[in-house]
Structure 1
Amino acid sequence: MGEGLGFAPGQVVQEFYFDEDVDNTLRATVEKETGGTIVAWDYEDMVDGVLIWWREEDAFEEDLADVLMDASANLDDAGGIVYVMTPKPGRKSSVPIDQVAEAAKTAGLKATTATSVAPDWAAMRLVARPRKR
C-alpha cells in the first residue's frame, strides 16, 4: 500500500474517530502529501479534506450520516473530499460498504470509489458538492 489519497501540498485535512487502531503509515503519507499535520475533529477553520475512521462499534455512539454532516461543515466552499476508513471485510469491527454509501447519500455526499488503503483498512471516497454562493 503506502500510496496516498491524492491530497496536495498546502491542503488541510481533518480527522474524526482517531484511535489506537488507525493506520499510522497512511496518516504519515497524508501528512507528507499535504506538508502539514492532520488536524483534530474539533478544528474550527475550513479544511480541504476529511478522514473518518469508522468501525462497527462507533455506530452505537453516533449515526454515520450525522458524523458526515459534521465533517462536511468545515469543507471549503469549493467542495472537498471525505474518506471514510473502515476495517476491511472479515476484520473485527468491519462495516458493510453499503451502509457507508447510504449514510453518504443521507448527508448529501456522493460516494465515488471504494479501495484498499492499508493492510487492515478500506476507504470509501465521498465528494462534497461545491456550495452555491
Structure 2
Amino acid sequence: MSATAGQAQSSLAERLGIKPSQVVQEIGYDDDCDEELRSSIEEVSENELVDEDYDDVVDVVLLWWRDDDGDLFDALSDALTTLADGGHIWLLTPKAGRDGHVEPSDIGEAAQTAGLSQTSSISAAREWSGTRLVTPKARR
C-alpha cells in the first residue's frame, strides 16, 4: 500500500473519531459493507473489530443498517448494552438512492425513542452515510 493510500484509508476512521486502543464493535456486517472503512478502523484503533457476540464494554459501536433489516429501535437498544459511558454509536446506512436507504426521519425517530441524540452526519464511505448517536449527558 502506498503512503497516500494509507493516509486516505486512516483518514476514513479518523473522520469517525476512532482513536488508538479503542474497542469497536461491529453489528450488521454483510457482504455489502465497505471493506476500506473496516480496514481503516482496525488500522487506527490498532484492534480487530469485535462482533455482536462480544460481551465486554466497547468504546464505539459500528451499526450497519439497511431499511429491510428490521426494527431500528430494537437494534439501537441492543447496541447500547455494551457501550461504555461516553461511547457512541455510528449508524451506517446506504446513501440516498441506494438499495436499503433509511430515511433520516426514521433514524431520528428510532434514535430519540432509544434515548439517543444525533450529533452529526457524514459521508462515511462511497455507498454509506454515517450518523453519530450518543446518550445525552444527563443520562451518562
Structure 2 length-normalised TM: 0.86
One-letter amino acid matched to 1:55: R
Counterpart of 1:110 in structure 2 is 117
More helix by share: 2
Q: 1:52 aligns with which of 45, 49, 63?
A: 63
RMSD between aligned residues: 1.4
Greater RCO (CA < 8 Å, at least 6 residues apart) = 1
The SS at the match of 1:113 is strand
Encode CA deviations 1:59-79: one digit per residue, 9 max, x unaligned.
2xxx11111111011111x22
One-letter amino acid matched to 1:72: L
CA distance in 2, matches of 1:6, 1:79: 13
Counterpart of 2:75 in structure 1 is 67
Counterpart of 2:3 in structure 1 is none
Structure 1 length-normalised TM: 0.90
The SS at the match of 1:50 is strand
Q: Which runs of 5+ in 1 are unaligned?
A: none
| 1:6-25 correspondence to structure 2 within 5 Å | 6-25=17-36
The count of aligned residue pairs is 128
Q: Contact (CA 8 Å) 1:115, 1:124: kept in 2 or not?
A: yes
Q: Contact (CA 8 Å) 1:80, 1:129: kept in 2 or not?
A: no
- Shift of residue 129, structure 1, vs aligned partner: 3.8
Q: Contact (CA 8 Å) 1:6, 1:33: kept in 2 or not?
A: no
CA distance in 2, matches of 1:45, 1:128: 18
- Structure whose CA Rg is larger: 2
- Shift of residue 118, structure 1, vs aligned partner: 0.7
One-letter amino acid matched to 1:45: D
CA distance in 1, matches of 2:46, 2:136: 25
CA distance in 2, matches of 1:104, 1:120: 22
The SS at the match of 2:37 is helix
CA distance in 2, matches of 1:36, 1:128: 24
One-letter amino acid matched to 1:101: G
- Shift of residue 86, structure 1, vs aligned partner: 0.4
Q: Contact (CA 8 Å) 1:85, 1:122: kept in 2 or not?
A: yes
Counterpart of 2:132 in structure 1 is 125
Q: Contact (CA 8 Å) 1:82, 1:128: kept in 2 or not?
A: no
